[in-house]
Amino acid sequence: MKVAPSLLLVCLRGLTALELIQIAVQDPHGLGVPQAEVEVRDPASGKVLLLGRTDESGCVALPVSLPVRLRVTAAGFASETV
């Protein structure tokens, strides 16, 4: 059985109505994952509302309005939804 490494998604700020959130995508060793795709989705419909991509340090800032779900995809890792 092949096991794919997972991603750790860390939201550094709390979410309120419309707010810019800082997201850090890290590998299991705590290293930033550059060029990870972050999708902001409507939790009811699953529709993608906004796309972002992490910088070279694995961080991205996105404006969101509650409630949302975040899906992170990166080459070599299993996708993660939170």
DSSP structural state of residue 34: T
CB 46 within 8 A of CB 39: no
Give residue 9's pLDDT: 56
CATH number of domain containing 14:
2.60.40.1930
- Establish if 3 belongs to a structural domain: no
Residue 58 lies in a domain: yes
Instruction: Tell me the pTM.
Output: 0.76
pLDDT over 90 at 15, yes or no = no
- Separation of first and last alpha carbons in the chain: 25
Domain that holds residue 26: 8-81
How many structural domains are present in the chain? 1
Under 8 Å between Cβ of 40 and 62: yes
Give the span between the Cα atoms of 19 and 69, in whole angstroms: 14
Q: Is 2 domain-assigned?
A: no
My answer on whether omega of the bond before 67 falls inside 30° of 0, hence cis, is yes
Asked whether residue 1 is assigned to any structural domain, the reply reads no
pLDDT single digits (tens) 38-80: 999 999 999 999 999 999 999 999 999 878 999 999 999 999 9
| Residue 31 located in a structural domain | yes
